[in-house]
Amino acid sequence: MRFLIAALFLLLALPVRAEISEPSFNCISVTLTAIQTLLCEDPLLGAWEGQLAARAESGGAVAAHRAWLQGLGAECGLGDAKELSLPARWRAAPCMVKGMRHRLLAQNLVPDPAAAEAPFPGEIHPNCIEALAPGLWEGYSDDPVPLELCNEGNAHIPTRTYNAFLFNDGAAWKGGIWQGSNRGFFGYRVRGHLGKGLVVVRTVFSGGGSGVFSGVVFIRGLPELAPWPGAELSAVGGWLFGDRCNGGLRDVKAAGPAAIETAEKITPFDLFTLDDSRRGAGWRFARYAAVLTGLTSGQEEVSEIRSRGTIQLRPHVDLATSAASCIGTVHYRYDLSGGRRELLGVTLDRLGGGGRLGTCFDAVVGEAAGKLPHRFSPGELSALKDRFRQTCVE
């Protein structure tokens, strides 16, 4: 129970946004115009349109509101288009902000407090990073992001800082998926430089549910200082990690011109299955990133990580493995030039094995660790696995 409570506190500590109005139309519709798509994907413009539409409905002026909105879209370059690219959205947004703010004030409506101008001098808006690494369901974009255009097109959307991450406010409808009243968020943090002008960027995002997913994207063109005339960002690789304790990242950092080090969250079940082939997918993603970044030719033979004396355990039944069952982190070094992954150790923060073998897990691991937190070397971890197998499994 105490681990569940700790997980809830973690979620509550993450950035949250005030509830604001939704657009006046159905964002799930497959027949959205470009104007409607912009309003659905922009949390503040959508809220403002909802305020204006509600006022129009109360005054019997719905038709006039729709005509005004259509005219504003045309004035801002949207016209009757059915599709809306990101650059088109960024070009139109400042004009839409100006027009909507003027109409709100003309009707004695106060814009949503969260919609105040949100300057972020020297910062790259999270939406510009999200355009390169849009999240769990969309993968990584091959399209470069014009930095000045993107920043100007998102300047009205507030950002917030938490734990050195810069977060945005999520939209109600994104990528064809309805986020509901809890719109989620996206944040990023720069974690060092590789060779060939690449920057390691750690991302964290939520679609609006309980999951909090993490990822890494390698970006070329990320400038050190503003302004950025003509700068373009491009993602040349990256991969997704898990949801909180299920393989989520605690940290990642550059470790030289062609290597990164990660701290990946683990559950009790993970502690004794770190070499299991089920975790080979993460290694394949790392190999994919290495080829894309150009740090290696891609010709080296890379063997699948195979089970080496793995203890046969059942997730959830024998030991806890839920997204709220963190007990520590596993530390890896990924050599992107040579195609290798090295286990550096495991840091154990707490006990709490759960499941059928939970009591034995706590006794064996607790005795080996002593005072927590404790870091096990790879050799100590191997000896601990043997002892756990002999004491608790066989």
* Residue 269: pLDDT over 60: yes
Distance between CA atoms of residues 168 and 357, nearest Å: 42
- Out of 72, 87, 115, a domain closes at 115
Averaged over 341-346, what is the pLDDT?
92
Does residue 234 sit in the same domain as residue 269? no
Looking at residue 319, what DSSP letter applies? B
Q: Is the dihedral of CA 242, 270, 319, 359 positive or negative?
A: negative
Does residue 328 sit in the same domain as residue 283? yes
Does residue 264 sit in the same domain as residue 297? yes
The predicted pLDDT at position 228 comes to 67
Q: Worst-scoring range by mean pLDDT, 181-185, 264-268, 302-306, 318-322?
A: 302-306
Does residue 228 sit in the same domain as residue 311? no
Averaged over 269-283, what is the pLDDT?
60
Q: How many structural domains compose the chain? A: 3
185 vs 359, residue with greater confidence: 359
Strand partners, 204: 187, 214
* Residue 341: pLDDT over 80: yes
Q: Worst-scoring range by mean pLDDT, 5-14, 23-32, 336-345?
A: 5-14
Give the pLDDT band (50/70/90) at residue 302: very low
* Proportion of the chain above pLDDT 70, given as a percent: 75
Looking at residue 135, what DSSP letter applies? B
Q: Tell me the pairing of strands 232-243 and 145-146.
A: antiparallel
308 vs 201, residue with greater confidence: 201
Inside any domain, residue 5 = no
175-192 tens-digit pLDDT = 444 444 456 788 999 999
71-125 tens-digit pLDDT = 999 999 997 777 788 899 999 999 999 999 999 999 888 765 444 444 455 689 9
123-142 tens-digit pLDDT = 899 999 988 876 544 556 67
Inside any domain, residue 359 = yes
Does residue 201 sit in the same domain as residue 273? no
Strand partners, 239: 216
Inside any domain, residue 154 = yes
Q: What is the mean pLDDT of the chain?
A: 79
* Residue 275: pLDDT over 80: no
Does residue 282 sit in the same domain as residue 388? yes
Inside any domain, residue 374 = yes
pTM: 0.80
Does residue 175 sit in the same domain as residue 316? no
Distance between CA atoms of residues 183 and 208, nearest Å: 5
Which CA distances in Å does 392 have to 269, 327, 351?
Answer: 13, 19, 16
Does residue 221 sit in the same domain as residue 277? no
Does residue 256 sit in the same domain as residue 361? yes
* Residue 52: pLDDT over 90: yes
The predicted pLDDT at position 304 comes to 32
Which CA distances in Å does 35 have to 50, 51, 149?
Answer: 14, 16, 19
The domain of 287 spans 244-394
Inside any domain, residue 1 = no
Does residue 159 sit in the same domain as residue 299? no
Inside any domain, residue 102 = yes
Inside any domain, residue 24 = no
Which CA distances in Å does 105 have to 22, 48, 375?
Answer: 19, 11, 59
Contacts of 347 (CB under 8 A, 6+ apart): 263, 328, 329, 331, 373, 374, 375, 376
Does residue 393 sit in the same domain as residue 255? yes
Strands in 249-254's sheet, in edge-to-edge order, are 249-254, 259-266, 328-335, 340-348, 374-376
Does residue 201 sit in the same domain as residue 272? no
Distance between CA atoms of residues 248 and 263, nearest Å: 9
